Structure 1
């Protein structure tokens, strides 16, 4: 296939703007972990495990609803307008969560933020996948994961610098009456307002997805967008390929029966299982329940905030590694590496907790697990999900997969305190190790390699013999 000159400056601008959804996804999702020791005391729920789980998991319920509607709004209105809506939801949530004085309204604004996450987590990688040339698509879709990780680190750094030093041995009453307990946790949420407003403004400067434009019979507009990315010849060829796959699936409306067909059902099932596995591999527990994990390892609340920054930095570094390897090593190899690597580390981590090791050995194992996850399952799952679904149903199929991911995430976050209480830290991580072994087997048997192929080539390959 003949190479076309790519306008990387313009392509990078589009990818970075749309990937701000990933940044806000990361910030909004993780900021609560650092605020947790303070807002729990403020709202009087520090001794109520059910309400603690609801505070942590409520945003994930919003994510589920966001994922449910994302596919339908993407196929009806495109990718751009729903991303603008998600930016508005992030803005409302950031302000409201920090402003409220009662727990019910706190939950309401967390639900609103979760709705924004559900939209952005589906549509940001989808939009990038649909504008990026096949040769570079893995790297550009991974930008969304990079910004997500930067958002996570930004939340961790903001929490660390906003919180005032907590003297060792501080009582709960002292923490509640401190600046952290009354005001500091609010500023942790309010710091999100800056990127949320910026995302909202910049999204008006990006074009609609060329694949969506072709789908609504606006070939001229699609060709204009693609010409700016890769030139006239590139645009003509891409529009031709997109039309070919849409003609192959000529029905205009998407019906439930489409997902039951012998060609489509196995592909959607692969997407659902990969999405669930990305959550049930267990790594996100470290971000959401850092206080419990590091306290069990012998660290104080102040140490915990610093350790979170360390883990976030490692997360960022190895996400950058993934961006360098996704289009060279391939998606399948990285997914296999991640699943088996985590299985081994969790087995050792569980043993460390069982033998009551504390301090740096546990921190080192946690950092190793985050490094493995950051260069494999975290970014590559989103790359694969943005690639494998047929053009005509991509929005709804991506919505189904993302819905499955957030349901799995809610179950993970909500059940961790229960599992941790029933099995202990060691038993919980051993359970996650077993899950990772199951994920490795599934990926080995079912996931094809997609690197270096256009979305249309992937579609034809996955559906031709089913």
Structure 2
């Protein structure tokens, strides 16, 4: 029996869950800001006379900021702490929301969206990392996945917000004013996030790295009780003492597999097409002949399915394990994308099967690639370099997101929806194969156990059966 299970009766699950929920509000900002553009871009296209390239740039510029934010999040959080950088992310997000709403030109809009994107890149990297560093091993999967649930709640909420705002006035009002409200309302969750973070503790593992052992012990005692806290503090010390701080650590035998897993999973999460659907859902449903109201309604259905199945994933992730969920999810995603592509290829654009299998794809992603990728990225790297290593994987993820969101309108216009969805299906096949042969199982292991598992073993898989 491992230590986490032996002391499960001493775990203050209420406290650690509350702290995790507060941190996960950063995920809500992530979901809100990445998806608000789906309801606004059509009106902005009319106002600013955007061609397909500029439409893609207006959507994808946020991810440029996210790449920048993710690139610096690790180093800055290793220096200044996870908590301070999460507060900074909330400030940047709020600036981006208000600035987007007030933009008079597309150039101004792009610049302020990049600023907001920097905040999103920081929060998307650090929220799962922070939760992983405070969560007991037995509950880490579902607690880290609260971040993905918050992302999906943000996505779902903005679909309803977009629908309500668009219905508040006529077409002219929507083009000139309505889309501004869609962005500006983001200030509400931004300020809430900042205020809530003022009352959460710093990561105990970061505190140990800074030599603040007493504060770290206090946090660990609130989570696991005195006896387990002392044992965990000792384990963290041993992990840090035995680990060099150089980024080159990630390229040594064993740990380079961890780096490959984090980076490749991050890329595959995006190139399977989820954010093409989330960002451009109304445009996709327009291809099926749906009117404006129907497009927004079907987009809301996508958001609801995403939310429901993300909740289901919280129940499954610590029961079935990360690897099995990835395999099941990517298999279903592949089949769904191939069928959607076939329906478009056959000219059955009004077929209800397109909506049905887009929903099946979203459900499969919500259970698997959505929460599990962020979870694994937060688990597999050594404590002393976790911030920077997670940042590298996050940069790869956001760079892939940028390419998909920038190219998707041009792909739809160029090669058509059938071949576009088939391309996403091919990426899902690769995700299945990679999960089968490379991704390790981390269920039930402490972060220090996972770290020890990489070192010195050929292939570096931590106890993979």
Q: TM-score range with shorter-chain normalisation?
A: over 0.9
Alignment partner of 2:159 out of 156, 160, 177: 156
Task: Please say if 1:385 is aligned against 2:377.
Answer: yes
Matched residue, 1:351: 342
Separation in 2, partners of 1:100, 1:281: 32
User: Are the structure 2 counterparts of residues 262 and 464 from structure 1 closer, same or farther at C-alpha, using a change threshold of 3 Å?
Assistant: closer
Pairing 1:248–2:242 present: yes
Q: CA deviation at 1:284?
A: 1.4
The equivalent of 1:450 in structure 2 is: 442
- Name the SS of the counterpart of 1:40 in structure 2: helix
Q: Does structure 1 retain, via aligned residues, the 8 Å contact 2:7–2:224?
A: no
Count of aligned positions: 452
- Counterpart CA distance in 2 for 1:49 and 1:347 is 25
Task: Find the counterpart in structure 2 of residue 304 from structure 1.
Answer: 295
Q: Unaligned regions of 5+ residues in structure 1, if any?
A: 167-173
Cross-structure match for 1:54? 57
* Candidates 357, 360, 363, aligned match of 1:365: 357
Aligned-residue CA RMSD (Å): 1.3
**1:419 alignment counterpart:** 411
Paired with 1:438 and 1:422, the residues of 2 have a C-alpha distance of 24
Query: What TM-score, normalized by structure 2, do the two folds share?
Result: 0.95
Tell me the residue number matched to 1:113.
116
User: For 1:11, which of 12, 16, 20 is the aligned residue?
Assistant: 16
Does the 8 Å CA contact 1:94/1:192 hold for their aligned counterparts?
Answer: yes
Equivalent runs, 1:155-304 vs 2, <5 Å: 155-164=158-167, 175=171, 178-249=172-243, 251=244, 254-304=245-295
In structure 1, how many angstroms separate the alpha carbons of the residues matched to 2:247 and 2:226? 37
Which of 324, 327, 331 is the matching residue for 2:322?
A: 331
Q: Give the superposition deviation at 1:419.
A: 2.1
Aligned twin of 1:439: 431
Q: 1:131 to 1:29 in 2, by over 3 A?
A: same
Deviation of 1:165 after TM superposition, in Å, equals 7.2
Partner of 1:41: 46
Q: Normalising by structure 1, report the TM-score.
A: 0.95
- Output the CA distance in 2 between the equivalents of 1:125 and 1:378: 12
User: Corresponding residue for 2:463?
Assistant: none
More displaced, 259-268 or 95-104? Answer: 259-268
Alignment of 1:396-407 (within 5 A): 396-407=388-399
Q: Which residue of 2 aligns with 1:82?
A: 85
Q: What's the CA shift for 1:461?
A: 1.2
Contact 1:63 1:406 in 2 (8 A): yes
The Cα shift of 1:359 comes to 4.5
Q: Which residue does 2:308 correspond to in 1? A: 317
Q: Which string of whole-angstrom CA distances, capped at 9 and with x for unpartnered residues, describes residues 193-244 of structure 1?
A: 1110011111111111000011111111100001111111121011011111
> Which segment is superposed worse, 79-88 or 300-309?
300-309
What CA distance in whole angstroms lies between the structure 1 residues aligned with 2:236 and 2:120? 29
State the SS of the aligned residue for 2:445.
Answer: coil
Structure 2: tracts of 5 or more residues without a match: 459-465
Give the 3-state SS of the residue equivalent to 1:140 in structure 2.
helix
Q: Distance in 2 between matches of 1:134 and 1:35?
A: 41
User: How far apart, CA to CA, are the structure 1 residues paired with 2:14 and 2:315?
Assistant: 18
Asked whether the equivalents of residues 334 and 428 of structure 2 are also in contact (C-alpha less than 8 Å), the reply is yes
Match of 1:171 in 2: none
Match for 2:125 among 122, 142, 147?
122
Residue 169 (structure 1) aligns with: none
8 A contact 1:43–1:102 mirrored in 2: yes
User: Shift of the alpha carbon at 1:12?
Assistant: 1.6
Q: Secondary structure at the match of 2:253?
A: coil
